[in-house]
């Protein structure tokens, strides 16, 4: 198959619509990329992730473990990894041919596939999702749970072109991919339990800063792990409506922890603001209240005046005693 050759560098972004794992569950992710063209990156590569921890990557026919401190030969089978990636590589070749036959567009040069299986907190296997993307857009998605498949197409792909390959993939998914994914996930959860189950308490700050339109109240939670967190802004004890809130995206820190910020634009008012945080590292819900700088200044001045008054009284008493 002839590919379009390009000298431009490819910037890899996770263009697929990623499914979010359920709270308290664990997931195994396999993210593969195929480049039809000449770049500084390998033609085919894949990355294996448990929850949000990269445990290995595959390129040029070799698998490289990541972040392991013990031997993991009992977790993964190198022959199975090679067979799986060979299957994915060939599926990319078929996908390129199908999409070009359908669209007559030879400019498609980056293809991605995401496969995710989930283990629920009850140790019961959950769903498996396989999604494909081409040139930055998700093309189709296959969901499998309880022996039932749901297939969704998000671009104009002729069903008669892809149906034979889809039926083959369903068989592979039922008999091989899904059970192997769940088994491998369980092994990783046991082997890397200390790394996966670690809990780091978030640092919480609630601030109020002036801007051109009034003030901005912001609640920031940072430095926490795992990624699941519930952060809520309150006005006079009542949750602020979502449509008034900006931010709220979960962002990674460089040290493997996460941060989240939620903000609210307000005018000069007399409402009382607070922020509550729920996280696995906290025994109870953490609530912090906005400490107004003006109120702090009043408090400091009042204390200083009180100290001065007491000093004056003691001085007067001492002087009177000295005269007696």
Per-residue model confidence (pLDDT) at position 35: 87
Per-residue model confidence (pLDDT) at position 320: 61
C-beta separation of 240 from 265 below 8 A: no
Per-residue model confidence (pLDDT) at position 92: 85
Tell me 173's DSSP state.
Answer: I
Per-residue model confidence (pLDDT) at position 299: 40
Which class for 89: exposed (0-12), middle (13-18), buried (19 or more C-beta within 10 A)? middle
Domains of the chain: 26-196 (3.30.500.10), 203-295 (2.60.40.10)
**CB within 8 Å of 95: residues ≥ 6 apart:** 111, 132, 134
Per-residue model confidence (pLDDT) at position 17: 42
Per-residue model confidence (pLDDT) at position 123: 83
Per-residue model confidence (pLDDT) at position 199: 92
d(CA 128, CA 28): 10
Per-residue model confidence (pLDDT) at position 14: 41
Per-residue model confidence (pLDDT) at position 264: 93
d(CA 240, CA 184): 42
d(CA 287, CA 295): 19
Tens of pLDDT along the chain (324 residues) come to: 555 444 333 333 444 444 445 556 899 999 999 988 777 888 899 999 999 889 999 988 889 998 887 788 888 888 888 888 888 888 888 777 766 665 555 554 788 999 999 998 878 999 999 998 887 778 888 899 888 998 887 766 555 556 667 788 888 888 888 999 999 999 999 999 888 889 999 999 999 998 887 899 999 999 999 888 999 999 999 999 999 999 999 999 988 899 999 999 988 778 899 999 999 999 888 888 887 543 333 344 455 556 666 766 666 556 665 555
Strands 137-145 and 148-153: antiparallel
d(CA 218, CA 209): 8
Q: With a threshold of 0.75, does the pTM exceed it?
A: no
Per-residue model confidence (pLDDT) at position 121: 80
Per-residue model confidence (pLDDT) at position 110: 85
């Amino acid at each position: 198959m002839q590919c379009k050759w390009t000298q431009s560098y490819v910037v890899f972004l996770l263009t697929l619509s990623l499914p979010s794992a359920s709270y308290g569950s664990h997931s195994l992710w396999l993210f593969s990329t195929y480049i039809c063209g000449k770049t500084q990156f390998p033609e085919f590569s894949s990355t294996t992730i448990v929850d949000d921890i990269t445990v290995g990557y595959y390129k040029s026919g070799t698998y490289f473990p990541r972040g392991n401190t013990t031997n993991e030969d009992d977790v993964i089978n190198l022959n199975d990894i090679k067979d799986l990636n060979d299957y994915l590589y060939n599926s990319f070749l078929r996908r390129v041919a199908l999409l070009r036959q359908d669209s007559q567009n030879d400019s498609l040069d980056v293809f991605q596939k995401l496969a995710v299986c989930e283990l629920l907190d009850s140790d019961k296997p959950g769903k498996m999702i396989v999604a494909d993307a081409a040139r930055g857009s998700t093309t189709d998605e296959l969901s499998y749970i309880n022996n039932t498949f749901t297939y969704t197409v998000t671009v104009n792909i002729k069903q008669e072109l892809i149906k034979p390959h889809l039926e083959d993939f369903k068989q592979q998914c039922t008999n091989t991919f899904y059970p192997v994914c769940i088994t491998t996930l369980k092994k990783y959860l046991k082997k890397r339990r200390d790394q996966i189950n670690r809990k780091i308490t978030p640092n919480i700050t609630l601030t109020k800063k002036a801007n051109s339109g009034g003030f901005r109240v912001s609640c920031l939670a940072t430095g926490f792990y795992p990624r699941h967190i519930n952060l809520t802004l309150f006005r006079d004890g009542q949750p602020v409506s979502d449509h008034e809130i900006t931010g709220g995206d979960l962002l990674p820190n460089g040290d493997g922890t996460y941060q989240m910020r939620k903000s609210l634009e307000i005018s000069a008012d007399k409402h009382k603001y607070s922020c509550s945080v729920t996280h696995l590292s906290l025994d109870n819900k953490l609530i912090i209240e906005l400490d107004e700088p003006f109120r702090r200044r009043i408090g400091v001045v009042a204390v200083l005046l009180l100290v001065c008054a007491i000093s004056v009284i003691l001085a007067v008493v001492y002087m009177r005693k000295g005269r007696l």
